[in-house]
Every structure is written in structure tokens, then in C-alpha cells.
Amino acid sequence: MTAGEKDGTVASGNNSLVKRMLSSMWGYWMFLLTISFGVAAAIYWIWLRGSV
């Protein structure tokens, strides 16, 4: 990573997509929510299926 890429003044490839997603608070919120419900679904599928 160049110094410019490290401090965000120059976007590099994949990083620009990630940065665009993180740049908005709501975007970040939705991103974390998706992961969280994925984890919840996994927990449900592994341990709680059939008992709820």
C-alpha cells in the first residue's frame, strides 16, 4: 500500500468499494445488520431449528 492509499487520499481498487460502503453511516449500519442477521440465522439453523 502506498502512503496515499494508507491515509485515504488515493483509492486503490477494492479499497474504494469498501470505503464507499463505510463512508455512509447508514451504509455501514446496513452492512453490520446483514452480517448480524446472518450470524443469527446460522445460530438458529445449527442449534434452534425445530424447537422454536
Partner 1 sequence: MFDFAIAGVSAPISLLVFVGFTVGIVGGFIGVGGGYMVTPALIVFGFPGYMASGIDMTHIAGKGLVSTMRHRQLGNIDWTLALTMIAGTMLGVELGVRVLVYFKQLGLAGIVLLLTSVVVMFSLFLYTQIETRRSHRQMQELNKAGRDPGRELQTSSLPRLFQSIPLRPIVRCRTARVVVSMWVIVLVGVVTGFLAGFLGVGGGFIRVPALVYLVGASTHIAVGTDLVEIVFSGGYGALRHSIEGHVDMMAVLFMLSGALFGAQFGSIATSYVRGPAIRYILSYSLILATFGAVMRLAYVLTGQKVEWLSFFAVMLTLGEMTFLCLFILSLVWFARRHKRGEWVPDWVKPLVIS
Q: Which residues bind partner 1 (CB under 8 A)?
A: 6-8, 19, 22-25, 28-29, 32-33, 35-37, 39-41, 43-44, 47-48, 51-52
Return all residues near 8 (Cβ < 8 A) that are at least 6 apart: 19
Residue 11 CB, nearest approach to partner 1 (Å)? 10
Residue 50 CB, nearest approach to partner 1 (Å)? 11
Residue 4 CB, nearest approach to partner 1 (Å)? 10
CB atoms within 10 A of CB 15: 14
The C-alpha cell 446496513 sits at 30
C-alpha cell at 31: 452492512
